[in-house]
Structures are given as C-alpha cells and as structure tokens.
Structure 1
Amino acid sequence: MENSTGAGILTGGAAGIPVPGDEELVARAAALREHLWADAAESDRSRRLTDATVEKITRAGLTRLMTPARFGGHESGMRTLLGVTSELGRGCCSASWVTGLFNAGNFVVSLFPERTQDEVFGTNPDARTALVLGLPSRSVEDAGDGVVVSGRWAYASGSLHADWIGVLVALPTEAGRPSVHIALLRRDEVEVEDTWFFVGMRGTGSNTVAADRVTVPRHRLLPYAPVLNGETDGLVDEGHLYRNSLTAVFSLSVIGSLVGGAEAAFDFVRERAHDRPAAGSTYARQAESPTLQLDLSTAAMKIDTARLHARRVADTIDEFARAKVNADLETRARVRMEATHVAQQCREAVDVLVTAYGTSAFDESSPLQRIWRDVNVGGRHAGFGMGIPQQVHGRALVGRDPREISFLV
C-alpha cells in the first residue's frame, strides 16, 4: 500500500497491524531529537552510534520506512523519509545519515525475490540493511547454486549495527564481460574493519566490510543495472511502490541529515544571539549587531533553498513511483544535481553560522563544531562532489546521455 499523505495511524499493515501515518512517523523522529542531541558527542568520540540511539530509532519504527508492508513495514513515500531524516538530523547528523541508508538498504531488499525478503524480514521486521555502492569485488567463484565471494568494501555506513550488508560483486559471464550484481550478506558472515577515521560524520561508523570466501546463494544475488536505472519491471510485481533509480533514492536518504544539521546550527546561533556579547564591539548582545542579523538572514535563505530542493527531489521520486514509470534521463540528472545543490547550500549556511557565532564555535565542547564537521564531510560524498553532478546535468540538458560521464544517474 502507499502511505504518502496520511496522519495518525492507518490500517492495512501485515495481518491488520495498524500502520503509522506519515505525520506520526515524522513526529516520532522529532521526539527523539533531544536524546540524539545528548548522545551525539559520545557517538562522535567513539566513532559509532550508541546502542541506545540505534535502539530508540528502531523501536520507533524508523528503519521500517522502506520495508514491505506484508512484513509490518510502512512503505512510506520519499517525503516521509525526508521528513524523518531531517528531524533526526537536527539531533545528530550521523544518526540521521545511518537511518536514511538503512532504509535505502531495505528498499533494495524489497527488489530481491520473495524468498530473500522472507529471509531478511520474515522473523525480524526491524532488520537493518547497510548498502555499499563501491567498486565490485574481483574475487568471485561459481559454486553451482551460488557464488563464493571474497573482497573488501569501504565506507559501509551503519555496518556496525546492520543485520545485513549489500555489496557489489562482478560475476563472470560466458561473454567474458563481468555482470555486476548486488550480493546480500549476513552481518555474521563478514568482518568489519575499523577504518573510519574521518573528521566528520564520525558516528556513522562507515568502516570497511571484508568477506573471506563467503558463499552467497543465487536468491541473494540481484542484477545491479536494473536497480540502478529504475528498470524494475522484471524484478517486482505491478503493485510495487518503488520505481526509480537507486541513485535518486540513495541521494534522498542522506540529504535530510544535512538539512537537519543546518537547521540545528541555525537554531543554536539564533537562540544564543540574545545572550552572547559581540566581541570587540560596543554591542551588548550579538542580536543587536546588523552583521549578525544579515548573517542569520543569509543562512535562513540557504537552508530554505536546501529544504525546497530536497522536497522537490522527494516529490519527483514519489510522482514517478505512483505513475509506475521510470524517470527520463534529464529528470534523473536534475535530481542528482538538486541533491548536490542541497548539500552545497547546507555547507554554505553552516559556514555562515559558525563565522557569525565566533571562534568559540570551534571549542571542542560546542555542538556547532561537530555539526560543521558533519555537514562538510557528508556534503562532500562522492554522489555530490568533484563537479561530476554538474557535468551530468549539463550533458543531459544538451541532449547527451549523462551516463557517458557517470553511472550514478
């Protein structure tokens, strides 16, 4: 069922279990903000989310947004995913980032055969799936009813708290050209190497997943190209809610973290402007300074711009999903560019805010410096960076195939 506009509690879940409406799910995320804010510093120090944070997010049903309804999932629209991750991001950017990606991972599981879905969600509707879209493993051996996989995949956000991990593998073919598939691995089948030593988004625990001769049955292998391109007609039934490129869903799953972080930074600076002196001036309070007022206005407009573009990304994905058609390449290129623009606006807004606040923003005890680090690292994810989204969008605008530049469209 599609649950894209309702408030409160809806019916229609597995075995008649009530399904929370979109407003209810976003409200649950907002209710966790205070806890996440209090736990964020510890997650940053330990380079992993606290178990309490993951438990609260899971118990609130916020990892079930993309889980099929027949298993007790919510099958929420993208607006709901954006609303949930934005609210979580106001408490902790890392917690929001991981929650978004768990839902993107569960979206991918929903495209696997029913046998696989039963294996993942049948006894655990709260199952969490991490997803790594890095280069495919080069060590794959045919095992008759499956394959034997060895390899290492970096930047596996959420791997420390995942139940399943999806990685890319290159399967040999008779034609000699490898066929890239998503291989779904149980968390207990792999090792997680402690490699995530980054200055921001530290709580995501985006470590390296290592597999040593893990046997993956055929039903846990899914062709990557149809998922990436949103060409899922051969994979899912007619009533399946999600029909869009994985790139769009993946991008939407993380930009809420950046928007929420920027909003939290804005609230922090504005609230304290009435109590903090404007150092080196005759203004008794920062709020009296026209420069601070102008900075707040600039940051507010950048955050509003980010929020509006993020909502258009969500609405575009939902629109095509409801119509059960795949978006054209120009639209897909625009969506990637819009997500990139969201990241850029959030980075710029936070930069303005920490400068306006002053040097004490970078005191290690200040949440502003953590938000600044998180937004600057998250906003430079490969999906947003190095000028590639601009090239992809520009090429589509002149009628060329953007996939000539990047497969992430």
Structure 2
Amino acid sequence: MTVSRPEISAKCADLVTAARDLVPEIAAAVPSYRGARDLPVSVIAAMKEAGLHKAYMPSRYGGYELDWGAHYYISREIAQACGSAGWIAGLVFTHVMCIGRFPEKAQDAFFTASPDGILATASAGSGVLERVPGGMQLSGRWGWASGVRHAGGLMVIAKEGDGPLFTHFCLLLPGEYTIEDTWDSAGLHATGSHHVKIVNQFIPDERLVERDVYLAPNPPGSEIHSSYVYRLRPAPLQKSYFMGPLLGTAKGALNATIEQTAKRRGQIVGERVAVQTPVQVNLGVATAEIDAATLVFDEYVRRLHAWGLSGNDIAPDDLLWGKRNVTFASRMCLSAADRLSAGLGAGGQLQSNPVPRLYTDCRSITTHVELHWDHSMAPTGMLALGLPTGDPLIDRETTDPKVERVIIGTQI
C-alpha cells in the first residue's frame, strides 16, 4: 500500500530521490562504524554531496530555502539505513533555519565561516552571560549537541541575571567552543551528541538574540528572506524533527524483517518460517502501525505548511493536535519496530542484524522530551475538562511573548 502525502516541490522531490539513492551506500557502510560515536566523514560528505543539508539554507547563502516538510521526507528515507544518519538529516541539517532568525550581520558571519551551513545546537545545560562593551561574555557547559563535530557553528541558550529561565540564544563560530567526547549511547550511537564547553568567550551583540524575540513570530532576521520558514514561531515545528527518523527506522526494520523472514528456516527441522500464521500476522500489524503513523505525520506536515502560508500564528487546535498525535504516532513506530525485532527470535538480536539496531534507534528517539507521553497527552484532557493547560496559545489567553509561560510549552 502506498500512503498518500502532501504535494511537494520539484526540488524537494529531487532531494528525496537523492536520499533514497543513498540508502544502499549508507547501509553498506554501517558495519564499519558500529559503536562509533560520530558518523564517518564519508557519510556526512555523501549527504552533503546530495545537497541534503541545503533544504532550509537561505537562498541568498546558496541554499534551497524549501517549504517546511522537506526534512521529514528526506530523513525518513535516510533513516531506513541508519537511525543516526537519519537523525543528522532530519534534525541537525534542519538547524540552519535557526540562523535566519539572527540579525543579518550574524547570518553573514556564520555563512562566511561555515558555507556548508551545518549548525549544532545545545539547550540541555547552563550558561551564564555577563554584559561587556559591544556584547556579552559567555561561560557554560551543555550536552546533547548532536552532530557538533561535523558542524560549522553552535547555538546555545544562556542566562543573564538571576531569573529562572534562560534569556538569550547565542551563536558561536568555529574556535569559540570546545567539544568534549562524552557521547556513549546504545541508540543513535553515531549522532555525536557530545557536550560542549565555553569559557569566557566574547559574543558580539549581533550574535545574541533575546529569548522572547527569537521564540516569537517574525524575528528581525527573517526580514531579509522570502520563505515563511524563518518567520514562524519555532516551538511547534520541533516535534516534526523526529517524524522522519521515527518512520524511517521502523520502515527499515520492516523491510529487513521481510527480507530475512522470506529466507528463514527453522533451526531444528528446517521448516519455512514464512508460512507460519503468527509470523504473517506480526508483519501485517507492523505494516498497519507504520501506515497509521505515516498518515499522522503527513497530516502534521500539511498543517504546518498551511500555517506557514497563512501568515498567521498557529491555530490552538493545530498546536494541540500536534502535541497529542505526533507523540501517539511515535509510539506506533516504536511498537512496530519492537514487534519486528522480537519476532526474529534470538538470531535477530545479533549485533550484525540491522533490525534490533533500528529498533534501538527508534526507541531512543521516542525518549526525547518533545515526545514525552504525559506532557503531550495531558493538555487535551485538561482542555476537555475545562482546565487551563498553562500554554497561552492553547488556552486562547494571549500571544504576548512577555507573558509568563510553562517551561516546556508553546514557546519554550
């Protein structure tokens, strides 16, 4: 069954085809970097050669400036071969859109220093800002900076003063931060999500954006570009980063299971495994779960694109829909990958088998805070029961970025 998807541009379709063509090459390379903490330079180079990193790069800096959704279609192809590569394609390559929110002078500086436009980001940690003439002095340490060894710059959050929340987004160029080799994970093992450390680094004013300016619609840096991508409120987009890698890892596990099962024979009497009804049912259920997740993810991409074209802020119903249903669909992907891995028996747990590896990658993706089950589901119940969710947009109270809000909500 082919599940329909929203119409995409010709350039986006070209990139999806290029990503699909890379799948056999990446799959063949996976054994060579099993257990490595970073993707090999050769895999990153192949994805860059295909132009996958340019989907959201502004056209004035040599990118394609595509509509929202390109990363989803691209990464769900790549992740069928390797969850770590899909993560880089779906998440890290998407971060270039963040640059379009900074002032023009900062954008020029970044793309001059890093013409490939690959940006690592880190928000898990603490950073302290101190005002000095012409900018601020920054010190701190952050974790989960995916792809940082392959990036040409880094964006972190940091706090000025004694308030409870961070106050600024900070853009750093090569040489202004130190990478600590700390990433060691069973799932997504080659994403290179290391810690970064910064000590007394001067950041000029143009590479500092106040939190509520960055997180609101229409930041100043968006004015020099045509695409709506740089003008949107960024928080609702974040769940979509994970949809392609989720779907790709589950689909990759399904494809590998089918290929293996068609050839399998029982270890004792040599019977064909493929003729066993439970095996057939397991494949059928996994396929249904993946199809259902695809429909949800495609619909969220459609809604985000329609929101971008509208020129308005995101509708509360769409925001709530994405919070709930994207997380629910992530569990369908995980369920499919889990049943496929378990269904292969002991032989399917070998490290050389791609199915348990893809399952582990899929499971790791679902642990991200954006896919936290209670946080994603509770607002729907709260609203249905007439209770405030704490999210100003969902509660239809205000869109004023200066109003206090929950730490993990519409804007943060």
The Cα of 1:263 is off from its aligned counterpart by 0.4
In structure 2, the partner of 1:6 is 9
Q: Is the 8 A contact 2:79 2:244 kept in 1?
A: yes
Distance 2:285 2:165 in 1: 50
1:202-217 equivalent positions in 2, closer than 5 A = 202-217=189-204
Distance 1:235 1:178 in 2: 23
Query: Measured at CA, do residues 234 and 191 of structure 1 come closer, stay the same or move farther in structure 2, by a change above 3 Å?
Result: closer
In structure 2, the partner of 1:164 is 153
In structure 1, the partner of 2:396 is none
Residue 258 (structure 1) aligned to one of 218, 241, 246: 246
In structure 2, the partner of 1:144 is 133
Q: Is the 8 A contact 2:87 2:245 kept in 1?
A: yes
Query: Measured at CA, do residues 402 and 313 of structure 1 come closer, stay the same or move farther in structure 2, by a change above 3 Å?
Result: farther
Across the two proteins, how many residue pairs are aligned to each other?
Answer: 388
Residue 57 (structure 1) aligned with residue 43 (structure 2): no
Q: Alpha-carbon deviations, 1:222-254, whole Å to 9, x = none?
A: 2233443x5225552284412433233222122
Distance 2:375 2:164 in 1: 26
Q: Alpha-carbon deviations, 1:88-107, whole Å to 9, x = none?
A: 11111101111222233211
Residue 40 (structure 1) aligned with residue 27 (structure 2): no
Q: Which residues of structure 1 form unaligned runs of 5+?
A: 8-20
Distance 2:248 2:181 in 1: 27
In structure 1, the partner of 2:394 is none
Query: Measured at CA, do residues 405 and 285 of structure 1 come closer, stay the same or move farther in structure 2, by a change above 3 Å?
Result: farther
In structure 1, the partner of 2:377 is 390
Distance 2:165 2:251 in 1: 44
Query: Measured at CA, do residues 145 and 356 of structure 1 come closer, stay the same or move farther in structure 2, by a change above 3 Å?
Result: same
Q: Which residues of structure 2 form unaligned runs of 5+?
A: 1-6, 392-404
Distance 1:226 1:330 in 2: 24
Q: Is the 8 A contact 1:168 1:182 kept in 2?
A: yes
Q: Is the 8 A contact 1:166 1:183 kept in 2?
A: yes
Residue 111 (structure 2) aligned to one of 80, 103, 121: 121
1:278-297 equivalent positions in 2, closer than 5 A = 278=266, 284-297=271-284
Q: Specify the code of the residue in structure 1 equivalent to 2:186.
A: V
Residue 244 (structure 1) aligned with residue 244 (structure 2): no
The Cα of 1:40 is off from its aligned counterpart by 2.4
In structure 2, the partner of 1:107 is 97
In structure 1, the partner of 2:260 is 272
Q: Alpha-carbon deviations, 1:274-309, whole Å to 9, x = none?
A: 2102457x7822210110111011100111111111
Q: Specify the code of the residue in structure 1 equivalent to 2:276.
A: S
Distance 2:239 2:189 in 1: 19
Distance 2:315 2:407 in 1: 16
Query: Measured at CA, do residues 345 and 400 of structure 1 come closer, stay the same or move farther in structure 2, by a change above 3 Å?
Result: same
In structure 2, the partner of 1:367 is 354
Query: Measured at CA, do residues 394 and 187 of structure 1 come closer, stay the same or move farther in structure 2, by a change above 3 Å?
Result: farther
Q: Alpha-carbon deviations, 1:168-227, whole Å to 9, x = none?
A: 011239xx6766211011232111112211111111011111101111111111223344
Q: Is the 8 A contact 1:128 1:162 kept in 2?
A: yes
Residue 231 (structure 1) aligned to one of 217, 221, 229: 217
Q: Is the 8 A contact 2:125 2:141 kept in 1?
A: no
Aligned-residue Cα RMSD (Å) equals: 2.2
Distance 1:44 1:249 in 2: 31
Q: Specify the code of the residue in structure 1 equivalent to 2:210.
A: P
Q: Alpha-carbon deviations, 1:333-370, whole Å to 9, x = none?
A: 32132221232111100111012211111111111121
Q: Specify the code of the residue in structure 2 equivalent to 1:144.
A: P
Q: Specify the code of the residue in structure 1 equivalent to 2:35.
A: R
The Cα of 1:37 is off from its aligned counterpart by 0.9
Query: Measured at CA, do residues 6 and 309 of structure 1 come closer, stay the same or move farther in structure 2, by a change above 3 Å?
Result: same
Q: Is the 8 A contact 1:71 1:121 kept in 2?
A: yes
The Cα of 1:271 is off from its aligned counterpart by 1.7
In structure 2, the partner of 1:86 is 76
Query: Measured at CA, do residues 405 and 220 of structure 1 come closer, stay the same or move farther in structure 2, by a change above 3 Å?
Result: closer
Q: Is the 8 A contact 2:129 2:158 kept in 1?
A: yes
Query: Measured at CA, do residues 284 and 390 of structure 1 come closer, stay the same or move farther in structure 2, by a change above 3 Å?
Result: same
Q: Is the 8 A contact 1:71 1:122 kept in 2?
A: no
Residue 328 (structure 2) aligned to one of 341, 345, 349: 341
Residue 194 (structure 1) aligned with residue 181 (structure 2): yes
